[in-house]
Copies of this chain bind each other. A is one copy, B any other.
Amino acid sequence: MHSFPELSKIFEEKFITRHFPASPGSLYDPAEYMLRLGGKRIRPVMCLMGNELVGEIVPDTYHVATAIELFHNFTLIHDDIMDKAPLRRGVETVHTRFGEPTALLSGDVMLVMAYEYLNKIKGEAVHKVLQLFNRTAKEVCEGQQLDMNFEQQPEVSFDEYLKMIELKTSVLLAASLQLGALLGGAGNGNQHHLYEFGKNLGIAFQIQDDYLDAFGDPDKFGKQVGGDIVANKKTFLSIHALEVASGDNAKELKRLLESSEVNKVKNILAIYKSCNVDEWAKTLKEKFLQTALVHLEKIAVLSARKKPLHELAEYLIHREH
């Protein structure tokens, strides 16, 4: 059994190899470029963790973990096109560097390559893996579509927003864990609780993301605080603030959200604080974390086997950057 950092290292060493043919380079080099941008590889590592919850790592799990990471990168390439994002992790996005048509096609071929890795699984297990993978892939597309819809929608309820985050972010984390467990031979009950652990953890993770963007320590956060506010992005904080602010506070918040004035970030943060949005977010995050941990508790394996998952939760939820 391995710790979270150990599994990260094991996966990264296997993953950092060329995944696509050399030719035509005009199609495959942009795909390789994307994979070289790095990232925390959280999802494939979660897949390995799901496997180690049950026993020793089954070799097929590496194929599925690789497929998950390719799928995730496919969504990033296409999301960046849809969002017209110039940069990712501080460097040019694929479409900025190689043009939109090529980026679109490189994303497509990356999704096909994910299925190539899934097809390396031996025997009939491939059916169950594909079923969960396909359902999750559809849900992630649905989440991205809802996210785009919400950008055009003046009012989005908390429940609608939560559903979107669940689809866009959480289900892939949950499925990564479950796919690992499934390959390890876990029973349906354990698979279910592991999925729910991942899903609730994913939501808590997103709340923490939104919280840090607004209230993170600028020295630790690593990027400009208030980025979401500047970009007019809907977040757990903005959705909740609009629901609870009243009177002049509500009017001023709506005005500020549509403005682009110099003190926008400062003034919106002041309203968030006056509505206790910061404390609300911390409480909400803890609520989802606790739900996640209840599901982790219910998984019927030796508690020592759950240690890396506790580490993971700690890492994702209490990080300051």
Give me the interface of A with B, judged by CB distance under 8 Å: 24, 26-27, 78, 81-82, 100-102, 104-105, 107-109, 111-113, 115-116, 118-119, 123-124, 126-127, 130-131, 134, 137-138, 141-142, 144-146, 148-149
Q: Which residues of B contact A126 (CB under 8 A)?
A: 126-127, 130
Known: A111-B111, A119-B127, A124-B123. A105 touches B145 (CB 8 A): yes
Q: B104 contacts A78, CB within 8 Å?
A: yes
For A101, give the chain B residue with the smallest CB separation.
Answer: B82
| Interface of A: prevailing SS | helix
Q: Which residues of B contact A138 (CB under 8 A)?
A: 109, 112-113, 116
For A27, give the chain B residue with the smallest CB separation.
Answer: B145
Counting chain B CB atoms within 10 Å of each CB, which of A100, A104, A126 scores highest?
A104
Q: How far is the CB of A147 from chain B (nearest CB, A)?
A: 10
For A23, give the chain B residue with the smallest CB separation.
Answer: B142
Counting chain B CB atoms within 10 Å of each CB, which of A108, A109, A138 scores highest?
A108
Q: Which residues of B contact A115 (CB under 8 A)?
A: 115, 130, 134
Among B81, B102, B124, B141, contact of A145 (Cβ-Cβ < 8 Å): B102
Q: Which residues of B contact A116 (CB under 8 A)?
A: 134, 138
For A71, give the chain B residue with the smallest CB separation.
Answer: B112
Q: A105 contacts B82, CB within 8 Å?
A: yes
Q: B119 contacts A130, CB within 8 Å?
A: yes
Q: A142 contacts B27, CB within 8 Å?
A: yes
Among B108, B113, B131, contact of A119 (Cβ-Cβ < 8 Å): B131
Q: A141 contacts B27, CB within 8 Å?
A: yes
Q: B124 contacts A137, CB within 8 Å?
A: no
Q: B24 contacts A105, CB within 8 Å?
A: no
Contacts A109-B142, A116-B138 given; 16 further ones with Cβ under 8 A?
A26-B149, A78-B105, A81-B101, A82-B100, A82-B104, A82-B105, A105-B148, A111-B111, A112-B138, A112-B141, A113-B138, A115-B130, A118-B130, A119-B130, A126-B126, A126-B127
Q: Which residues of B contact A111 (CB under 8 A)?
A: 108, 111-112
For A123, give the chain B residue with the smallest CB separation.
Answer: B124
Q: Which residues of B contact A118 (CB under 8 A)?
A: 130
Q: Which residues of B contact A27 (CB under 8 A)?
A: 141-142, 145
Can you offer 26 A-B residue contacts whose CB atoms are under 8 A?
A: A24-B145, A24-B146, A26-B145, A26-B149, A27-B141, A27-B142, A27-B145, A78-B105, A81-B101, A82-B100, A82-B101, A101-B148, A104-B104, A107-B108, A108-B108, A109-B141, A109-B142, A111-B112, A112-B134, A112-B138, A113-B138, A115-B115, A115-B130, A118-B130, A119-B131, A123-B124
For A81, give the chain B residue with the smallest CB separation.
Answer: B104
Q: B137 contacts A112, CB within 8 Å?
A: yes
Known: A108-B141, A138-B113. A24 touches B149 (CB 8 A): yes
